[in-house]
Amino acid sequence: MARASGTAAEAPDRAGGYGRGAAVLSLGIGTTGLVTYTYFALASHVLSEADYGRITLLWSATFVIVSVLYRPVEQLLSRTIADRDARGLPGAHHLRIAALIQLGLAAAFAVGALALRGPIRDGLFAGSAALYWILIVTVLAYAASYFGRGFLSGHHRFGLYGLLVLMEATTRCLFALAVAVGISSGQTAVALGMVAAPLVSLVVVPFGVRRRLRSGARAERATASLPEAPPREPEPDAPRTGAEPEFTLARGGSFAGGVLVVMLCEQTFLNAGPLLVKATGGAAGAALAGFTFNVLLIARAPLQLFQAIQASILPNLTRMRAAGEDDPFKRSVNVTLAAIAAFASVSALVLLAIGPALMDLLFGGDFEYGRGGLVLITVGMGLYLAAATLNQAILAHGRAGAAAVCWAATAAGFVTYLALARPDDRVLQVEASFTAAALVLTALLFALYRHSNRQNPSNG
């Protein structure tokens, strides 16, 4: 019996799906950012400086770990589900393989964290066993959360994705609010919000699964009602929508491993500068590192909102690629790059006009923010966002390993320069090297993107 393909019917939805998905997720993640800010604002008022400092350390350690470990499987799921849906492939084998990879990463973390119990508990959390165990349980809980995110984005359930991250932030904030109004008290009560957040947010996922099951049932009934169609030769210009090579543990692990390298490099670009400034800054190293961190927030803050674009662009590009829609694929990438260029240009003009005054107002301190350095890091931010966009397009082609090589080579050069450079103006060195590395990374990924489009325009 002839099988009805959903590709043609869903083409209009795909054409506008990226923009709608990015808009929905931007709203959800933007609101999430405000709720997260409220969590820390409440925590800073109800805890002592030392206790609040350990909360921020717990937060930083948790989100560096989960970003590196679990976002690879989120992106693996997002791409694989979108590709299989576009090709009309049945089964859940890919979900079992992704779950196995995620469980393996979570188990590796648990083994490492238990082996390093003393250094983590005493060195990071000043001997607090409660914070140590909260770190472990929180990181393990996020394994399920990121799996759910990949499932939802792969199926274009961007509204539920946004709701998931918003519920996560809101749940966490409620624990700090409970301490603020006197229902509970202490550092541990505030920290427990980090454990509860990913667990509570998972209540969203069954709605996405149920919607998917209903859609599958409707498709089967529609297919069963179609008359038998005689086989016919494909049209010469018809896109090839046959299956990619079989999705195996080795293939899925290779993709996830490539993305894991990219995530490690991303953390290197964002955190190596302040760490090296602290290590080489002598007595003023800690204060200078904080100043450097504030400057890099110009690049770091937009990346939080860019998560919305990353979560929506990968499944949309993957669907276009699987359906052979080369022009919409390239147009989506070009529109995103143009929007990033416009955003970076406006940001640079604002910082050129009032950058030093704005940074002093926001962060204070005794350091002077140089106008040229702020504009330089803004240019680097735009280039970095462009590189991240090109990276998603390359992942849609399934070339995670090649992308990882570009990221690793650039990150290695970035760290090597900062480690060997003379400790003159360390902040300017970080600003210049970050922007130069972003330029090199963008150029490498653009070349790889062009090569991927020429080599395999429709279905890899």
Q: What is the pLDDT of residues 210-250, one digit of tens each?
A: 766 555 545 445 444 545 545 444 434 434 444 456 778 88
> Quick one: residue 5, left, alpha or beta (phi over 0 = left, psi -120 to 50 = alpha)?
beta
Least confident of 237-251, 277-291, 343-357: 237-251
Helices (H), 88-157: 93-115, 117-118, 129-154
Taking the whole predicted model, whether its pTM rises above 0.85 is answered as no
Q: What value does the mean pLDDT take over residues 363-372?
A: 73
Please tell me which of 20-24, 126-130, 418-422 the model is most confident about, judged by mean pLDDT: 126-130
Tell me if 391 sits within 8 A of 445, measured CB to CB: yes
In the chain, where are the structural domains located? Answer: 1-217, 248-460
Note the pLDDT of residue 213: 55
Work out the angle at residue 44's Cα, subtended by the Cα atoms of residues 39 and 46, and round it to the nearest 5 degrees. Answer: 95
Query: Which pLDDT band, with edges at 50, 70 and 90, does 152 fall under?
Result: very high
- The answer to whether residues 418 and 276 touch, using CB atoms and an 8 Å cutoff, is yes
pLDDT at 18: 54
Residues 6+ apart with CB under 8 A from 97: 247, 248, 249, 252
- Of 187-196, 272-281, 416-425, which gets the smallest average pLDDT? 272-281
- Helix H segments across 116-248? 117-118, 129-154, 158-180, 187-201, 205-224
Average pLDDT, the chain: 82
Question: What integer pLDDT is reported at residue 286 of this predicted model?
Answer: 64
List the single range of 59-68, 85-94, 164-173, 282-291 with lowest mean pLDDT: 282-291
Phi, psi for residue 121 in degrees, rounded to 5: -65, -45
